[in-house]
Amino acid sequence: MSEMHLVLDTDIRGPWPQGTEVIYFGMGCFWGAEKKLWNLPGVVSTAVGYMGGSASDPTYPLVCTGSTGHSEIVLVAYNPSKTSIYDLLKCFWENHDPTQGNRQGNDIGTQYRSAVYWTTSEQEKWVTESRNAYNEVLVSKGFDPITSELAPASNFKFWYAEEYHQQYLIKNPNGYDCHAHTGILLPEIAALSS
């Protein structure tokens, strides 16, 4: 079943070009997060869904009860020769508040928690290093420590959200786009050796 991305004109379920990598981000409400991520150079496709919980085939109303343990997540398929994992992580860290636990601003619940689920060992290195660097800066500026859930994507299944959530802010240009953020920039990180 093909579901074409309304901005990138790619199938949100793949297949994508050879060499495409995937990473998953939870930044609170997935509508605004998806828009920020699809606008990055080298992003092949995005989709919103649910990850990190226990229920099979979760629905938005069920996830919003907080009983399933799922987060609202953005799948990002990207070309690593056109965008770096650092640039994706910079967008992630700087466009939400990873110190707020189970909330983002006025959005409260486990589904709004900060999370990164990686699919490669290289991504894992960058996620860990960027978290450590960003945490150090945040704490030095008076913020609480980062509470983001960081784990291999293989620990969880990604469940695609309902069609009306996909590219929501294209379908609803004046729709809700709330993202708390710290106003703190991710520091430069020296290249990691593989």
- How is residue 146 annotated by DSSP? P
Residue type, 168: Y
Instruction: Please provide residue 143's backbone torsions phi and psi, each rounded to the nearest 5 degrees.
Output: -85, 160
Give me the catalytic one of 29, 64, 91, 178. Answer: 29
Q: How far apart are CA 112 and CA 90, in angstroms?
A: 19
- Name 63's Cβ contacts closer than 8 Å, sequence gap at least 6: 50, 53, 70, 72, 111
Q: Is 76 left (phi over 0), alpha (psi -120 to 50) or beta?
A: beta
Q: How many residues does the chain have?
A: 194
Closest CA to 22 of 60, 58, 49, 54: 49
Residues 191 and 194: their CA atoms lie apart, in Å, by 9
Residue type at 3 in one-letter notation: E
178 is catalytic: no
Question: Whose CA is closest to 90, among 154, 140, 38, 40?
Answer: 40
Q: Which residues are known catalytic residues?
A: 29
